[in-house]
Homo-oligomer: A and B are copies of this chain.
């Protein structure tokens, strides 16, 4: 098995059988291809007798979303497996365990997490996860701190930057998040009822300036090893466990991009409540839960990050008074800006989110979309002035209130 080929289910089973110390030699394995992404095959391998199971994730050499015509590097499988293993070294309980990585097949053998659900789905069912903010705040604090110049040897960090250079996957982000949504690009996917709002964004030069600045930060700030695609569809969750998956977009970039992605997806669900909750009190209550979660995610991140800094900082200049405050304020500002960009692109860019698109009633969907755009553009415009996470919360709350008054 030394030349790449996309595995069949039978081949996936044969491969899994050969793995040392996992299944019995005479185990009867079954496989189900459960990939619902656009880029990979995901085989769920089960041994019903022992109850053991595994995931085989194989990168495809193209993006399925547009057929085989969009080739995509297999190197992302290496990046994903190496990122997972690095993240596991900082917080093993928050990522799936990697058993093996087979370079030639672009194949990663991972822990099966099918007792968890994808968080986006959980939020769309209005479930609550009281431990989530603590888990994800810790995940971000630890992975972002320990891969930065603050938390590791600064010469080794440079080599690690080289290890995670990821041009093709970064290009997807650069195009779909920091370019297409701000002009009339064929990659956009604009519903007819949104055309006026989108046309206004295409003409808003003040907004474009802030996006250009954020794009520049994404392109040039080699700060930490990012997950790179940290939305609620990249998180497996259940009441007592959170697992961050799919870091194939990992590269060295600005911390705020990961944090902003996560907060944006909570806020997209917040906007989507326009369409999901028919009971107004229930809607208000779930929104309150979401905003409390947003705040707690940042609060945990900041507290953990400051603790790591105080205890484990490697950079001799980093003990300078006021520098930690300056640093975290910059991360906060970029978090808010990136959160805004991540919201906007999910409303009329190439790739939407089920929270919003799943709203069947067109008028309710439109309300949710306009609310998300109002929050997203406000966050982008405000980001360089921000000094507290409460400003993000206030923007989300005010936008919802004024929508309730105006649009309803």
Contact = CB atoms under 8 A, between A and B. Distances in A.
Interface residues of A, number: 42
A408 B168 CA distance: 62
A78 to B, nearest CB: 14
A119 interface: no
A171 B149 CA distance: 12
A221 interface: yes
B216 A149 contact: yes
Contacts of A315: 215
Contacts of A170: 154-155, 158
Contacts of A320: 205, 208-209, 211-212
13 contacts: A149-B219, A155-B168, A156-B167, A158-B167, A162-B162, A183-B316, A208-B320, A208-B323, A209-B326, A212-B318, A216-B327, A220-B222, A220-B223
Stoichiometry, copies per complex: 2
A171 B183 contact: no
A396 to B, nearest CB: 26
Q: Pick the most buried of A182, A320, A322: most chain B CB atoms within 10 A of its CB.
A: A320
Interface in A184-222: 205, 208-209, 211-213, 215-216, 219-222
Contact of A155 (B158, B167, B205, B317): B167
A154 B220 CA distance: 10
Nearest to A217: B221
